[in-house]
A and B are shown apart, each in its own frame.
Chain A
Amino acid sequence: GNSVTQMEGPVTLSEEAFLTINCTYTATGYPSLFWYVQYPGEGLQLLLKATKADDKGSNKGFEATYRKETTSFHLEKGSVQVSDSAVYFCALSDAGGTSYGKLTFGQGTILTVHP
């Protein structure tokens, strides 16, 4: 079945540091890949997505590239801010067969950015 593995957290950084959160996946088909962000006390929001190999998703300074050869979708940001403190979830959607519409999530990575 499908699965998503994220790097262990939590991650603590100083403002303006470089961020990488690793994400690898296992899927039977050709999934779409997503990063969601959850700010304290809120629901999940879509941060970025990529639908095919070598696609790069980007939003709010965050980027992730769909690497089929390494089955990875690592999240990066060149300079984090305190306001980026949140929980980040990697997810995949494999639209085939009984997986229609379903998202498989990683366990989430807590990011804390200090001034």
Chain B
Amino acid sequence: NAGVTQTPKFQVLKTGQSMTLQCAQDMNHEYMSWYRQDPGMGLRLIHYSVGAGITDQGEVPNGYNVSRSTTEDFPLRLLSAAPSQTSVYFCASSYPSSGRNEQFFGPGTRLTVL
């Protein structure tokens, strides 16, 4: 049981490039989400999904797209990277319908946009 995995761990992009951050979980969790963590600002929710085929925007969705074609995978796409997207990105999953709302986090992806 690997839990929540994220790839890559580190990435450097140039302004305007696109890329996809991968997230997968093997716990059959229905709920998955993406956060960004910036100094002094805690974690901010980007997008989330309550199940395969269902996604919705969080607090800071601009510049990011997501899709959820399977229960296991929840990739985050940066369409045209900007320096303001330099951050650490965390994926998380949970199983709220079980009554256990705690989220399990991946190890993070550190992204730098030049």
Contacts and interface: CB of A to CB of B under 8 A. Distances in A.
A44 interface: yes
A71 interface: no
6 contacts: A32-B102, A34-B102, A43-B106, A44-B92, A102-B45, A107-B41
Majority secondary structure of chain A interface residues (helix, strand, loop or mixed): strand
Majority secondary structure of chain B interface residues (helix, strand, loop or mixed): strand
A72 B25 CA distance: 32
Interface string B34-65: 00000011110100101000000000000000
B31 interface: yes
B90 A95 contact: no
Given A43-B108, A108-B42, A102 B48 contact: yes
Contacts of B45: 102
Interface of B: 4, 30-31, 33, 40-43, 45, 48, 50, 90, 92, 94, 96, 101-108
A95 B102 CA distance: 11
A107 B105 CA distance: 17
Interface residues on chain A, size class: 20 to 34
A97 interface: no
A101 B99 CA distance: 10
A71 to B, nearest CB: 18
